[in-house]
Structure 1
Amino acid sequence: MKKWILAAAISAALTACSASQSPTALPQGVTLLETVTVADSAVGIPYKKYMLANGLTVVLHQDSSDPLVHVDVTYHVGSARELPGRSGFAHLFEHMMFQGSEHVGDEQHFKTVTEAGGTLNGTTNTDRTNYFETVPSNQLEKMLWLESDRMGYFLPALTEEKFEVQRETVKNERAQRIDNQPYGRMNERFNQAFYPAGHQYSWPVIGWPADLDRANVDDVKHFFQRWYGPNNATLTIGGDFDEVQALAWINKYFGEIPRGPEVTGETKELVTLDATRYISMEDRVHLPLLRIAFPTVYASHEDEAALDLLANIIGGGPTSLVYKNLVKDGYAVQAGVSHPCQELACQFSIYALANPARGGQLSDIEQRVKESIAEFEQRGVTDADLQKVKVQFEASTIFGLQSVKGKVSTLALNQTFFGDPDRIAFDLKRYAGVTKADVMRVFNTYIKGKPMVVMSVVPEGQKQLIAHADNFVAPAPKVADEAVSGVNAIALASSSFDRSVMPVAQQAPVITAPVLWTGNLQNGIPVMGTTSEETPTVELVIYLNGGHRLVDIKQAGLANLTASLLNESSQKRTTEELAQALEMLGSSVSFGASTYQSYIKVSTLTSHLDETLAIVNEKLFEPGFKAADFERIKQQHLQSLQHMQSDPNYIADSTFDALLFGADTPLGVSSQGTMASVAALTLEDVRAFYQVQYRAGNAQMVVVGDLNKDKLMNKLAGFATWQGDSSKLPAMKPLPALAGGHVYLLDKPGAAQSVIKIGKRAMPYDATGDYFKSYLMNYPLGGAFNSRINLNLREDKGYTYGARSYFSGGSEEGLFEASASVRTDVTAEAMVEFANEINGYQASGMTEKELMFMRNSISQGQALDYETPYQKAGFMRRIQRFGLDADFTQTQAQIINTISKETLNKLASSELKLDEMIVLIVGDRAKIEKNIKALGYPVTVLEL
C-alpha cells in the first residue's frame, strides 16, 4: 500500500487527515466514531475507530501489502496504577495473562499462536500493558478468541499454583535483567530520588521483591477486576483482513464482556525538586557512570517538543556540546542527553560513562556537563539546529512505520493516552513550529539554575570517584492498607455461544517470496534487490566477505576497530561535519564488522539517496584515518571490553566459544578482540587491514527501496570505479578436542544467577540439508516458547525467566547450544532438568503431536518473513552469502511438510548425545560448586 509519500515540506502533512462519521451497516452495539483517511501527498496512518457498547475502543487499519495481521490489546494500566508498597502487579499480570483462561488451557496461548505461525508477547511500562500477536491473516478470528477470553474469562482459571509459578518467574526476570546486570539497579534507585515519596513512578515497573512477596491471589484478582475491563482497553488491528467480517468477530467475542469499573485519567502535576539531590551506588562495574536529570513536563505538554530539540542540541550525537566536551576530549567513553517522556512526567536526562584512563573522577564529569550547559546558554540555537532535529523527527517517523506492527503500536499508544490514534500530522506540526525562542524559553524554565538529581555509580570499593557526597536518602516506602482500591461488585461474563470451541482458521493465505532482481556494477560487484513501495525509503547494505575471519588472531578486534574508524572523519570533513550532513538528510550510514564480514548499512529517504550515497563514497574511499580519532576510538574500545567483563552473559558467550573452538582461532575469540590484542593494535594495522578488506572483489550489495532496478542501479553507479580482487581467508588452526561430559565453572562472586550453557560443535549452515533439518528437529525441544526445555525450567519449575536450545551454523562450523540463566540456589537442579530433557529427546525423539505442531508453526510463519525492508534484505543476503537458489524457500517448505518423524528422530539420536557436550556455568562458585560436584560431573574451575 503506497501511502507514504513524503511531502515536499512538512506543512503538506498538516491538513492531510479528514474525519467523517458516515453511517455504515454495523453489528448491533458497535458504533463508528470516526474514519480518517490520508492524502497521497502526506504522511499518516488511515484508520477507522469504533466503540462497543461495553466501552471497548476498536481501531482498524487495513494494509494488504503482506498476508498477515497484527492484533494489539492495550490496557490503560501500568505500574502507575499501583499503590505504595503494592508494586509489581501490572507486570505480574503481563505474565499471568498467558497462563490460560476459562476456555483456553494452561500454556495454550503460546502454543496456539506459535502453531498458527505467529509471534506474540506482552509488555508493561509505567502507564500501559499491551498484548500482541502477529499472525498469518487467516488466523485473525483465533486471535480475537484468545484475547477476548483472557479479558472476560481470566479469573475462573486463576489458581494459587499458577500465581506462585509466575511470581517466581518474575523474580527470575528481575534477577536476570536487573540484579545480574551492570548498572541494573540504577534506574530504580534514581527514580526514588527523582520523584516524591509515593509518586507512581517512584517504584520499579517490575516491582520491589518485598512487595511481590506480600501479594496474594486475592490481591491479583482484585487488580484484574479493577483495571482489565473492556472500557479501559483499546483493541487495534492492522493488516490484510475483511473489515466487515472483523467487526462481526469483534462484537461476537468481546461484546458480551461486562464493563469494568470506571477509569479516570491520572492527575498530571509537574514534578519539582526543592534542591539538588546527590546519591551514589557501588556496583560490579568497570566504568564509573554519572547520571543527571531535571524534571520537566509530561507527554504531549506544549513544551515537550522544544525540550526534545534542546536535548538534541546539548547531547544528541557527534555534533552536540556534550559529545564535544566529554567524548571527543576523551573524558567519557560514552555520553548523551535525551528527553524521555511518560504519561505523567518527563526527564531531561544526561549520562556519561567516565574514562578510567583519564581518572574516572565523576566530579570532573559533572563539571564538564555543567560547562556544556553554560556553553549552550552562550551559544544559543542556530537555524541548522532546528532544521536537523525536524528532519530527523520526520525521517524517524517514516522509518518507524515500515511494518504493520509499527503502525498498530503507534495507533494503540496514541489512542490509549490521547484519544487520537493518528497524531503524526499533529506531531509534525508541533515540531515544525518550534522556534529558537521556544528552545531558549524551556532552557530557562526547566534547566538553567534548576535543582537536579545527580547519581554516581562507581566500581565496588571506589567510593572516592563519586561526584559529591550523598545528601539524600529515600524515605522508606509506605505500604497501602489494601492492594487495590475502587473494586466494586463486578458481573461475571456469560456467553451466548460455546467459547470452549477454538475457531477454525480460514484458508491459508498464499505466501510469496519477494520478487528479486540481480545485476552487476561495471566492476563486477553483484547487486541483489527488490522493490518495496510501502515507504519512500531505501535500505542498502554493502557486505564485504572477510571480517574477523580475515584477521590474524593476534590482531583480534582489528576488523571492528577499522569499521569504527571509518565511522569517523574523512580526508575532506571532520566526524562532526559528516554527522551534521547526515542529520540534515535524516539518513544513517554505519560501518561495522562481524565474524565473517565487514559491512556498511545505509538507511535513507529516497529523496535524499543521492546525497547520502555521496557521503558513503566519501567515507569509504577517502577515510581520514587520523591519529586523534584512532587513539580515542581505541581507548573507547578497550574500556568497552573491560566493561563487558562485568556482564555475566558476555563472559559466558566468549568463554563458551573459546572452549568449543579454541582460544587460538577466530571462531573462539570474539570479533571485539581481547584487551591484549586491541591494546597492541596501531593505526598502521588499521590502514593495512583497510587495504585487504575494503576491496571491490570482497563486496556484494543488497538493496530494498521504492525505486525499480534500473533507477537503483544508476544510483549505485558511483561504486563502479571501486577496484581490488577478493581476499583469501587464512587457514584455520585445528579445533580442540572436546572433553564431553565435563563441567567448566567460571567464578563470578555475588552473581544473582548462574548462566548455564550446554553444547558442542555441530554442522555448518545449509539451507536444505541436515543443518536445516536439525532446526526442525530441535523446534519442540527448545526452539519455541512452549518447547520441552522452557516449559520444564520456566513454567513447571520456576527456575528461570527463559530456557532454549538451538543450532547455529556459519560457512565453516556450527554449534548446538542449550542455555538459561537460573536462580543460583537451583543451579544443580537446573542442570539435571536440562540433562533429562536432552537425554529423553535424544532417546525417543518427538511425538506425532510435536511433529504436527512444528510443521504448522514453521510453515505458516513464513507469512511473516518478508514484511519489512530489513527482513527482505536479510533474505537476499542469505541467498548471496551461501549461493542459494532464489526459490530455496520452496524446497524448505516441501521438506517441512513431508519430512518424516523417523528422519527427525534419527537426527536427534545422532546430534544430541549429551556425553559429547560440554557444560559451562558462570556463577557464584562458593554457592554452587558443591552441589554441581555432587552430580558426579568432572569439574574444572576457570579464571577470568
Structure 2
Amino acid sequence: MKKWSIALVIACLGACEQASTPIQENILPSGVKFIEEVKAQSGKTVIPYKKYTLDNGLTVILHQDNSDPLVHVDMTYHVGSGREEIGKSGFAHFFEHMMFQGSENVEDEQHFKLVTEAGGTMNGTTNSDRTNYFQTVPANQFEKMLWLEADRMGFLVDAVTQEKFEVQRETVKNERGQRVDNRPYGRLNERVSEALYPAGHPYSWPVIGYMEDLNRVNVNDLKAFFLKWYGPNNATLTIGGDIDEQEALSLVNKYFGTIPRGPEVAMPEKPTVTVAEDRYISMEDNVHLPLIYMSYPTVSIRHEDEAPLDVLSSILGGGKTSLFYKNLVKNQLAVQASVSHPCAELACTFNLFALPHPASGKTLADIEKVIRDTLVEFEERGVEDDDLTKVKASMEASYVFGLQSVAGKVSTLASNETFKGNPNYIAQDIARYANVTKADVMRVFKQYIKGQHGVIMSVIPKGKTELIAAEDNFTPPLRSAGVLSKTSSEELVIRKAKDNFDRSVIPTSGANKAVEVPKMWQKTLANGIKVLGTQSIETPTTTLLLKIPAGHYYSDKEKAGVVSLLASALNESTTERSAEEMSNALQKLGSSVSISAGNQYLNVNVSTLTKNLDATLLLVNEKLLKPAFIESEFARNKSNAIQGIINNKKDAGYLASTAYRQLLQADNIASISSQGSEESIKSISLDDIKAFYQQQVKPFDSQLIVVSDLQEKALSKSLDVFSAWQGKGEKLSLVLAEPDTQTGVIYLVNKDEAAQSAIRIGKRSITQDITGEYYKSYLMNFALGGAFNSRINLNLREDKGYTYGARSYFSADKFSGNYTASAEVRADATDKSIVEFVKEIQAYHDNGITDEELSFMRNAINQKDALKYETPRAKLGFLAQILEHDLTADFVKQRANIVETITKEEINALAKKHLNIADMFMVVVGDAKTLKPQLEALGYQVVNYDI
C-alpha cells in the first residue's frame, strides 16, 4: 500500500492548542503581507500555522510548537527534474549538491560545518517536481539557519566556480554509480520511464539525470538554470518549532526581503499519457533473480481517482492479505511481489512487479500470466468491507504518528503549499480516502487497468534471455548526442540584493536551551520482564520495543540464521489464526508489529494508536505464545532466505560487509550475519526452529521499553497481557577469539565489471562502553571520519570526487568491536582512494587533532540534546540504552562532561593507540582482473578472497 507521503498528516486532538504571540497586521514588517491564520481545533485534524508573503514573492509559513527546544527550517523550491530541458537533465539534482558548496558569504563546506557544530541535522532532496533543503537545530541556532538559507538563495551564482562544478559533477557521477549503475535492478525505473512517457515528457528522464548531459554543459548553463527557478517567488519557507513568531517574521524579512524576484515561471502542462499497445522491453543485469515490472499510466497527484487507485493497489499487492501474496508469494511462485501507485505532480503510475522463485521453474512470461489472471480474479472478487476499513485505519494511524516530529509537520505544510497553494489541505486529503466506495475502486480498475496497455519490463541475469516475458517490441527514441555547451557568462542576468547590514557576519547564538531528560519509571513484571517507560503526551500513541535474550549469538555457527527464520515464523500463522487473518486484524487496527533477529536479542517492535493498545497487545501475545510453526510456511521462508542471500551477492556493499565480517572474526558465530549463510540456512529444519523457540524465547530477563501517552498505572494494566508467559532461557556464554587475519594485506573480492569498488579498511578493536575508552574513541574519530566535514570525507568526496561519501567509525557490542573506514568509490579511482585513506588515517595517528577540530567536536556533540528525545521513537532508543546497560539518566551528564573536558593530549593518545594503519587489513570489492595489478602496484600483497 502507498505510504501516505503526500501529507504526513497531523491529527491535532484535544489539548493541542498552541500558545502564540499574535502578530497584528498593522505591525508587520514593511514588505510583509499577512495571508491567513489556521488555528488548532479540538477534535479536528489540522496543523496550526500563519502564512505570509514578502514583496519579492517568497511564501512564509510559521508553525509554533514549544514542546521541544528545537526548530525545523524547510526551504522548498518548486523545481525538480520535470522543469529541465531535453539534453540538460540532472540540473535540479545537481543544484541539490551545489547549494551546500558555499555562497558569497558562506565559505566552501561551511554550511555543513555550521549545522553540525550547532548540534543539528540537515539534508536536501530532489524529485521530479520540487527540491527542498532542511535543517533541524536547537532553537538558539535559528537565526543562523535563516542566514545560511538566504545566502544560497540570493548570493550563490557568483560563488559557483568551474572548480566546484567539476568536483560536484564527479560527486553526482559517484552517487549515480552507487545508487543506480552498481546496484542490482538499479536502472529499472529509468528504463521504464523512457518507455512509458513520450520523448520530451518531463518524466521521461531520471531525476539524477544522464551523465552525458552533465558532461556536455558548462558552469554557465547551471547558473542560468538557477537564475530561472530559484528565486523567492518560486519558493516556500516553512518554519516550525520553538519560535517567537514576531521575531521569526522580522528575521525572515531581514535576510530574505531584499532578495530580488526571479522571472515568473509557469508549471509544465499535464500531458495525457497513453500507451496504444503493450510495450515490452528487457535488460540484462548483474542479478540472480529475474524480475517482471508492469507499469500503467493513470492520473496525477490529488486527482479524484488517486485515492481509489491507492485502495486498488492495496487489495492487489499490499501485504499478506493481498491477492498478489496469495497467488505469487504464498505458493512460492515468487520470492517477492507487490503493487504500488506512486503519484507525482504531472502523472501517476500503477506498478505491479514480481521476482520469480527459481524453484518454481516459471519464466517471466508465466508470471505475467499469473498477474493477468489475478486481475481477472479481482474483478470477480470485488471489493470487500475490510479492504476499505484497513486503508482508513492505516490513514488515521499515519496522520496521528505524523504529529510526533516538528519536521513531519513542517514538511506537510510545505508540500501542501507548494503543490496546492494551501498548507491547510489535510482535511481534503482525509476526505478523499474516507469517501472512497467499493464502486469507486471497481470503476478505476475498469478505467485505468482492465484492458489497458502499459510497459512490461523484464530484468534478467546476463545471458538468460530465454527468461524474458516477451520479445522487445519497443525502443525509445534515441536521445540527442548534443554538443558541448558554449553558454557564456555574458548571457546571464544576475540579480543582486541591496542590504543595510553586513551579510558576511555570521549571526551569533544565544545560550542553548536546557533539555530535560525524559522522566522514567521502572518495574519488573512477575515473569521477569524488566520494564522501562516514559510518558509522551504529544500524540495518543504507544510505541514498544520488547528485547528477548534470544538473538543470533545464542545459536550455533552451523545453524546461523535460525533466529532469523524463527522471527519469520513468529510473523506467520498462530494456532488461533492464519497469517492472513493476523495481518488483517493488525491492519484494521492501524497497528504495526514486526519481529526481527539481532545479535543479542530477538526484537519485537510495536506501534499503535493508544486506543487500540490492548487489542494490539493481545495479538502480540498470541504471536509470541502460540506460533503455529507450519511446515509450508517454514519451507517458503527458508527458500526465500536462501534466494535473498544469493541475490545479495550481486551487491558490492553486501560482498564487502560479508568478507570484512569474516576477516574480523575467527571461525565463530559472529563471523556470519544474523541472516545466516546459504549453507547454514540449508541445514536448518523446522525442528531446529521449534527447539530454539522452546529453549530461548522466554520472558525472564527480557527488556520492555515503552513510550506512551498513558501514565504508568494504566500502561502497567495493559502489560498484564504478558502474565501467562513464563520461563527462563539459557544464559549466553560467548568468547569471540581474535582471528589470524593478515594485516597490511588487501583481500580482493571479485565483482565483474563493477562501476564502483567497495572499500573497507580496519581491524578488531575495543568492546562497547558508555562512558569509557570506547566512547572517548568515538570522540577521537569524529574529526577524522565521524562527520560530513571530517578529513576523510572532505578529501575523498569534496576534494577528489572519488566517492559519494566516505567515513570511519568504531562499532562494538559487549563481546567484540572494530574500527572501520569505508566508502564506495569510482572503479577507476580505487587505488587512489586507498592511498588517500591511508594518508589521512596515518596523519591523524601521527599528528592528532587540531584545536579547531577539538572545538568543533565539542560543540557538535554537546548541542545535540534538543534532537535526542523529540519523538517517541527517539525516546525509545534512549531508554533502551539505559535498560540494556543498567544506567541511570545521569549518564547523559557524564558524557557531556567527558566531551567538555577531554584534552587534546588524551585524544591524540587514543589516535596513536587505535589508528596504527599497520595493524589494519583491507577488503576491496570490484573487478578483480582490472584492480589486482593496480593494487599490487601500490606495494600491497593482494589476496583473492571468496565468500
Alignment TM-score, normalising by the size of structure 2: 0.97
357, 360, 367: which one aligns with 1:358: 360
Superposed counterparts of 1:674-823, under 5 Å: 674-732=677-735, 734-823=737-826
Which residue, out of 303, 307, 312, partners 2:309?
A: 307
Q: Counterparts in 2 of 1:177-192, with a 5 A limit?
A: 177-192=179-194
SS at match of 1:317: coil
Residue of structure 1 equivalent to 2:915 = 912
Summarize the Cα distance change of 1:444–1:41 in structure 2 as closer, same or farther, 3 Å threshold: same
Shift of 1:718: 1.1
The Cα of 1:488 is off from its aligned counterpart by 7.7
Q: CA deviation at 1:151?
A: 0.1
Q: Which residue of 2 aligns with 1:855?
A: 858
Residues 646-678 of structure 1, C-alpha deviations (whole Å, 9 max, x = no match): 11101110110100113x212111111011110
- After superposition, the Cα gap between the structure-2 partners of 1:483 and 1:726, relative to the gap in structure 1 and judged at 3 Å, is farther
1:140 maps to which of 132, 137, 142? 142
Q: Supply the distance in 2 between the matched residues of 1:708 and 1:659 (Cα, whole angstroms).
A: 48
Partners of 1:732 and 1:491 lie apart in 2 by 66
Report the CA distance between 1:40 and its aligned residue.
2.1
**Displacement of 1:385:** 1.1
1:68 to 67, 70, 78: 70
SS in 2 for 1:49: strand
Greater CA deviation, 38-47 or 56-65? 38-47
Of 213, 224, 236 in structure 2, the residue corresponding to residue 234 of structure 1 is 236
CA RMSD in angstroms, aligned pairs only: 1.9
Contact 1:561 1:633 in 2 (8 A): yes
2:19 corresponds to 1:46: no
Whether the 8 Å contact between 1:292 and 1:454 is mirrored in structure 2 is yes
* Counterpart-to-counterpart distance in 2, 1:125 and 1:739: 46
Do residues 499 (structure 1) and 503 (structure 2) align? yes
Instruction: State the AA in 1 paired with 2:710.
Output: L
In 1, the alpha carbon distance for the partners of 2:271 and 2:177 equals 33
- The answer to whether the 8 Å contact 1:127/1:343 transfers is yes
2:297 maps to 1:295: yes
Match of 1:124 among 118, 123, 126: 126
Q: 2:283 aligns with which of 281, 285, 306?
A: 281
1:305-354 C-alpha deviation (Å, 9 max, x unpaired): 11111111111111111111000111011111111000100001111111
C-alpha distance 634-484 of structure 1, shift in aligned 2 (>3 A): farther
Whether the 8 Å CA contact 2:760–2:924 is kept in 1: the answer is yes
Q: How many corresponding residue pairs?
A: 933
Distance 1:483 1:680, change over 3 A: farther
Q: Judge conservation of contact 1:79–1:90 (CA < 8 Å) in 2.
A: yes
CA contact (8 A) 1:198 1:477 kept: no
Q: Tell me how far apart the structure 1 counterparts of residues 411 and 795 of structure 2 sit (CA, whole Å).
A: 32
Deviations 1:381-419 (A, max 9, x none): 112111111111121222233111111111111111111
Query: Percent identity, aligned pairs only?
Result: 55
Give the aligned partner of residue 550 of structure 1. Answer: 554
The 1-side partners of 2:905 and 2:733 are apart by: 40
Counterpart Cα distance in 2 of 1:424 and 1:517: 36
- 1:402 counterpart (391, 401, 404): 404
DSSP-derived class of the 2:770 partner? coil
Q: Which amino acid aligns with 1:425?
A: A
User: Does residue 576 of structure 1 match 2:598?
Assistant: no
Quote the Cα distance in structure 2 between the aligned partners of 1:312 and 1:539.
25
Partners of 1:21 and 1:35 within 8 A in 2 = no
Q: 1:215 Cα deviation (Å)?
A: 1.3
**One-letter code of the match for 1:660?**
L
2:254 to 252, 255, 278: 252
TM-score (norm 1): 0.97
Q: Secondary structure at the match of 1:667?
A: helix
Alignment partner of 1:421 is 2:423: yes
CA distance in 1, matches of 2:390, 2:12: 16
Q: Supply the distance in 1 between the matched residues of 2:424 and 2:521 (Cα, whole angstroms).
A: 35
Q: Equivalent residue for 2:656?
A: 652
1:568 Cα offset (Å): 0.4
1:22, distance to aligned residue in structure 2 (A): 6.9
Question: Aligned partners of 1:836, 1:31: CA distance in 2, in Å?
Answer: 55
Query: What is the Cα deviation at residue 885 of structure 1?
Result: 2.1
Give a deviation string over 1:436-484, Cα, whole Å, max 9, x none.
1111111111011001110011111111111111100111124789899
CA contact (8 A) 1:793 1:800 kept: yes
> How has the CA–CA distance of structure 1 residues 24 and 626 changed in structure 2, closer, same or farther, with 3 Å as cutoff?
farther
Partners of 1:797 and 1:300 lie apart in 2 by 44
Is 222-231 or 471-480 further displaced after alignment?
471-480
1:733 Cα deviation after fit: 5.3
**Superposed displacement of residue 256, structure 1:** 0.4
Aligned-partner Cα distance in 2 for 1:384–1:597: 35
Residue 151 of structure 1: which of 144, 150, 153 is its match?
153
| Structure 2 match to 1:464 | 466
What SS is found at the alignment partner of 2:669?
Answer: coil
* Structure 1 residue 265, shift from structure 2 partner: 1.8
2: CA distance between counterparts of 1:753 and 1:200? Answer: 29
Which whole-Å deviations, capped at 9, do the CAs of 1:698-729 have from their partners, x for residues lacking one? Answer: 41100011101111111001112211114222
Match of 1:174 among 170, 176, 180: 176
SS at match of 1:543: strand
SS in 2 for 1:113: helix
| 2:36–2:50 CA contact under 8 A, matched in 1 | yes
Shift of 1:943: 2.1
C-alpha deviations, 1:567-594, integer Å up to 9, x for none?
0000010010010001110001111111
Residue in structure 2 matched with residue 162 of structure 1 by the alignment: 164
2:695 and 2:309 map into 1 onto residues whose CA distance is 46
* Letter in structure 2 aligned against 1:300: R
Is 2:227–2:493's contact at 8 Å kept on the other side of the alignment? no
Give 2:347's aligned amino acid: A
AA aligned opposite 1:624: A
Alpha-carbon distance in structure 1 between the residues aligned to 2:189 and 2:870? 35
How far apart are residue 24 of structure 1 and its match?
5.5
Q: Could you tell me which amino acid in structure 2 is paired with residue 904 of structure 1?
A: I
- 125-134 vs 390-399, which moves further: 390-399
The reply on whether 1:930 has 2:915 as its aligned counterpart is no
2:549/2:697 contact within 8 Å kept = no
Could you tell me whether the CA contact under 8 Å between 2:72 and 2:136 is conserved in 1? yes
Paired amino acid for 1:280: S
Letter in structure 2 aligned against 1:933: E
What is the rounded CA distance, in whole Å, between the counterparts of 1:218 and 1:360 in structure 2?
Answer: 53
Amino acid at match of 1:907: L
Query: Partners in 2 of 1:914 and 1:668 — Cα distance?
Result: 22
Contact 2:734 2:815 (8 Å CA) reproduced: no
The whole-number CA distance in structure 1 between the counterparts of 2:723 and 2:293 is 47
| 1:269 Cα deviation from its structure 2 partner | 2.5
Shift of 1:64: 1.1
Equivalent position SS for 1:293: strand
Q: CA deviation at 1:360?
A: 4.2
Distance 1:208 1:633 in 2: 39
Q: Distance in 1 between matches of 2:550 and 2:624?
A: 16
Contact 1:83–1:484 (Cα < 8 Å) also in 2: no
User: Counterparts of 1:470 and 1:4 in 2: how far apart (Å)?
Assistant: 46
1:7 shift after superposition: 7.0
* Distance in 2 (alpha carbons) for counterparts of 1:890 and 1:734: 35
Matched, 1:520 2:514: no
On the 8 A contact 1:182/1:647 being kept in 2, the answer is: yes
Gaps of 5+ in 2: 1-8
Q: Given the alignment, which residue of 585, 588, 608 partners 1:604?
A: 608
Which residue number in structure 1 is paired with residue 618 of structure 2? Answer: 614
Supply the distance in 2 between the matched residues of 1:440 and 1:929 (Cα, whole angstroms): 59
- Offset of residue 693 of structure 1: 2.3
2:10 and 2:401 in contact (8 A); partners too: no
Per-residue displacement from partner, 1:809-862 (whole Å, max 9, x unpaired)? Answer: 101111100011111111111111101100000011100000000000010012
Q: Please say which of residues 74-83 and 398-407 is displaced more in the overlay.
A: 398-407
